[in-house]
Amino acid sequence: MRTVQRLVKKWEEEGLAAFAQEGRRDNGTHRISEAWQKFITDAYGKGKCTPAQVAVKVKAKAGVA
């Protein structure tokens, strides 16, 4: 109910522009460090690991059980 109330209020204040899609703030940014990116691309890039095997290696390196 509260969400609908917010949307109606926004529409009353801004009109159709209220529903225009805005770009994501994190667009183009990576969520993992460059070190992790390198580790993953090196493991996968050698062609000897499947994505599932890379995931296992990442978990092992991160210390996740």
Average pLDDT score over residue span 46-57: 87
- Is the pLDDT at 65 greater than 70, yes or no? no
Per-residue pLDDT reduced to its tens digit, 8-51? 999 999 998 888 887 777 777 778 888 999 999 988 887 788 99
Whole-model pTM: value is: 0.50
CB neighbours of residue 10 within 10 Å: 13
- Sign, CA dihedral 24-40-36-60, equals positive
pLDDT at 30: 79
Write down the domain spans for the chain.
30-65
DSSP type of residue 26: T
